[in-house]
Every structure is written in C-alpha cells, then in structure tokens.
Amino acid sequence: MACKYFARAVGSEYEVLSAFGADEAVGILREHHARISVLVTDFRMPGRDGGDLLRQVALEFPQIVRILVTAYADKDMLLETVNTGEVFRILEKPIGVADVREVLRLAGERYRERTVRQQRLMAIRASKLDAYRALTEQVYGQQIDANSTVADMIMTNDTFRAKVEGLIYGARLVSITPVGDDTYETTLSLDRNAVQDLRVLYLTQVASRNR
C-alpha cells in the first residue's frame, strides 16, 4: 500500500505524516515526535531498509509504537527485525484497509498504555526524589553537639559527609502511595539509632584530633 493510498485510507481518522525513506522519516520524527504515536514502515525502501529505521526509532523514540509492512517471507530477517526493533505488529502484503485500521486501533491503545505507564513512573520517581530531599533536610538539621549540626560537619569532614550520604541513600523504602491523579507519596525510614551513630562518629573524630 503506497503512502498516498495509506493516507487516503486512514486520513479521516488519523493525522498522517508521510516520508519516502528512512532518513526523511527520522527527520520528521525529530521535528514532530510529540505528535506521533505510531510508525508504519515498509521493509524495502530507497536507501536504508525498514528494519534499520525501526532499530533507530526504538532507540531514539521508544514511546512510539512500531509496525512493519513487508511482502517478503524471510523468517530470519523478520525475526531479527522484531527482536531488535521491538515491532508491535507485522503486516504482510497484500493488506486490506480493514486490517490496517484494526492494527492502528490496537497500536493506539498500546501507545496510550505506554504513556500512562511512563507518566506513572515519572510521578513515582519525582515522589521518591522529594522524599529523599525532605529526609536530607531533616538529617542535615540534626544537632551533633550544642554548636554543630550535621550540615556543619559535612562541610569540613569528607569522612563524615560520606557517612551521611550513605545513611540517607540507604534509607528503607516504606511505601509509595497514590494520593491523586499521577501523584504519589513516598515514605522513607531511618534506623532510630542512625543519628546517634553520627554523633558517636563525630565525638570519636574530635577525641582523636585532641590527643
């Protein structure tokens, strides 16, 4: 199915951006990737083949769902392309309009699932970063003695800084709880003796310097 016939067949339901080779397709993707959810490519094209294009798209635009069209029943070639280009579907020529529409419908669903999953992962990652940031502020504000906080000590002592960083990033992940649409709350926990251990380390180093 040539590009112009493909666009005519599904253009009433989808916005279709056409390219006549892999390099042109990559150029369009780089400029408009935020608008593109599905890539349909023939295997045989001028210049680089569709398998090469699919592999590049899998690396640069992994969120885009990829469909391969081919008239060739080379199973080894198809297997390599599927494995390295993460192909969602293979359409073998000749293909009918109904088949194309059904595959595009399924590809659209896959894209939406990927988008939701990616948004969820980003929200969870942001929640964890916020939790570590809050924990860091709490630990840094702890008093080591009457005149010094943890934050004061890490500015002057590399050993102490390494101990504090290890303590914070070794915190136990208690829970990640959804609190709204794409919003999560992360709870971290430190051993109750952790700050006391920092005090002991500080006092030990002070005593060593005073000998």
pLDDT (tens digit, 9 = 90+) per residue, 55-74?
Answer: 999 999 999 999 988 876 55
The SS3 call for residue 150 is helix
Residue 211 is predicted with a pLDDT of: 59
Q: pLDDT at residue 157 above 80?
A: no
Q: pLDDT at residue 153 above 70?
A: yes
Rg for the chain, CA atoms, rounded: 28
Computed over every residue of the chain, the mean pLDDT equals 84
**Residue type at 40 in one-letter notation:** V
Question: Looking at per-residue confidence, does 78 or 42 come out higher?
Answer: 42
Residue 30 is predicted with a pLDDT of: 95
What average pLDDT does this structure show over 101-121? 91
Q: pLDDT at residue 2 above 70?
A: no
d(CA 89, CA 77) in angstroms, rounded, equals: 15
Is residue 178 within 8 Å of 196, Cβ to Cβ? no
- What residues are paired with 161 via a beta bridge? none
Token pair for 165: 């960083």
Is residue 81 within 8 Å of 54, Cβ to Cβ? yes
- How many percent of the chain have pLDDT more than 90? 34
Q: pLDDT at residue 7 above 80?
A: no
d(CA 59, CA 62) in angstroms, rounded, equals: 6
What average pLDDT does this structure show over 102-111? 93
* Burial of residue 3, with CB atoms counted within 10 A of its CB: 0-12 exposed, 13-18 middle, 19 or more buried: middle
Residue 26 is predicted with a pLDDT of: 95
Q: pLDDT at residue 1 above 60?
A: no
pTM summary value: 0.67
Q: pLDDT at residue 207 above 70?
A: no
What average pLDDT does this structure show over 160-169? 84
Token pair for 124: 């969870």
Q: Write out pLDDT tens, residues 190-205.
A: 877 776 777 777 667 6
Is residue 164 within 8 Å of 195, Cβ to Cβ? no
